[in-house]
Amino acid sequence: MNKNLAFADYLVFIIYFIIVAGYGYSIYRKRKKNEHDAKAYFLAEGTLTWWAIGASLIASNISAEQFIGMSGEGFFLGIAVAAYEWLAAVALIIIAIWFIPVYLKNKIYTMPQFLKTRYNESTALIMAVFWLFLYVFVNLTSILYLGAVAINGIAGGGYLHIIMIGLSIFALLISLGGMKVVAYTDVIQVAVLIIGGLVTTYIALTTVGSYFGVGENAIAGFKVLLREAPEHFKMIIPRPNAASSQNDIDKYITFPGILSYAAGIWIINLNYWGCNQYITQRALGADLQTARTGILFAGFLKLMMPLIVMLPGIAAFVLYKSGHLPQLVGGKDGAYSAVLTFLPTGLKGLSVAALTAAIVASLAGKVNSISTIYTLDIHKKYIQKDANEKNQVYIGRFAVFAAMILAVLFTWNDLLGIGGVGGFTYIQKYTGFISPGVFAMFFLGMFWKRTTGSAAIVGLLTGFLLSVLFNEFAPGLFGNETFLYTAYPNGKGGFEIPFHICMGLAFLFTMIAMVAVSLAGPKINPKAFELDRSMFKLAPSTTVLIVTILFIITALYVKFW
Is residue 211 domain-resident?
yes
Which tens digit of pLDDT belongs to each residue from 365-375?
Answer: 889 889 999 99
Q: How confident is the model at residue 17 (pLDDT cuts 50, 70, 90)?
A: confident
Domain boundary among 406, 431, 456: 431
Which tens digit of pLDDT belongs to each residue from 373-415?
Answer: 999 999 998 998 888 888 998 998 999 999 999 999 998 888 8
Answer yes or no: is pLDDT of 33 > 70: no
For the ranges 354-358, 377-381, 425-429, 430-434, the lowest mean pLDDT is seen at 425-429
Contact 504, 516 (CB under 8 A): no
Is residue 292 domain-resident?
yes
For residues 282-296, one letter each, b for 16 or more C-beta atoms within 10 angstroms of the residue's C-beta and e for the rest, the string is bbbbbebebbbbbbb
The answer on 231 and 207 residing in a single domain is: yes
Is residue 546 domain-resident?
no
The answer on 470 and 324 residing in a single domain is: no
Domain boundary among 382, 403, 431: 431
The answer on 310 and 225 residing in a single domain is: yes
Is residue 294 domain-resident?
yes
Q: Is the full-model pTM beyond 0.85? A: yes
Burial of 26 (0-12, 13-18, 19+ CB in 10 A): exposed
Mind giving me the DSSP string for 173-216? HHHTT-HHHHHHHHHHHHHHHHHHHHHHHHHHHHHHHHHTTS-S
The answer on 222 and 81 residing in a single domain is: yes
For the ranges 65-74, 188-197, 453-462, 504-513, the lowest mean pLDDT is seen at 65-74
Q: What average pLDDT does this structure show over 464-491?
A: 93
pLDDT at residue 1 in the model: 41
The answer on 374 and 346 residing in a single domain is: yes
Is residue 1 domain-resident?
no
The answer on 492 and 419 residing in a single domain is: no
Helices (H), 327-452: 335-340, 347-372, 389-412, 418-421, 423-432, 435-447
Q: Find which of 47-61, 289-303, 325-339 is predicted with most confidence, using mean pLDDT.
A: 289-303
> Who wins on pLDDT, 424 or 454?
454
The answer on 473 and 413 residing in a single domain is: no
CATH, residue 317: 1.20.1730.10
Give me the chain's average pLDDT, please.
88
Q: What average pLDDT does this structure show over 40-57?
A: 80
Domain boundary among 386, 410, 431: 431
Q: What average pLDDT does this structure show over 166-171?
A: 91
Mind giving me the DSSP string for 75-122? HHT-GGGGHHHHHHHHHHHHIIIIIHHHHHHTT--SHHHHHHHHT-HH
* Side-chain-side CA neighbours of residue 78 (13 Å): 20
How many independent structural domains does the chain possess?
2
Which tens digit of pLDDT belongs to each residue from 239-274?
Answer: 998 888 998 998 999 889 899 888 788 998 999 899
The answer on 452 and 426 residing in a single domain is: no
> Who wins on pLDDT, 539 or 338?
539
C-alpha–C-alpha distance, residues 83 and 247, integer Å: 20
Q: Give every CB contact of residue 29 below 8 A, 6+ residues apart in sequence.
A: none
Burial of 147 (0-12, 13-18, 19+ CB in 10 A): buried
Q: Which domain holds residue 285?
A: 7-431
Is residue 190 domain-resident?
yes
Answer yes or no: is pLDDT of 421 > 60: no
For the ranges 5-14, 79-88, 483-492, the lowest mean pLDDT is seen at 5-14
Q: How confident is the model at residue 423 (pLDDT cuts 50, 70, 90)?
A: low
The answer on 462 and 485 residing in a single domain is: yes
Answer yes or no: is pLDDT of 426 > 70: no
The answer on 437 and 427 residing in a single domain is: no
Which tens digit of pLDDT belongs to each residue from 270-283?
Answer: 998 999 887 888 78
Is residue 70 domain-resident?
yes
Q: How confident is the model at residue 3 (pLDDT cuts 50, 70, 90)?
A: low
The answer on 442 and 307 residing in a single domain is: no
Is residue 69 domain-resident?
yes
The answer on 136 and 71 residing in a single domain is: yes
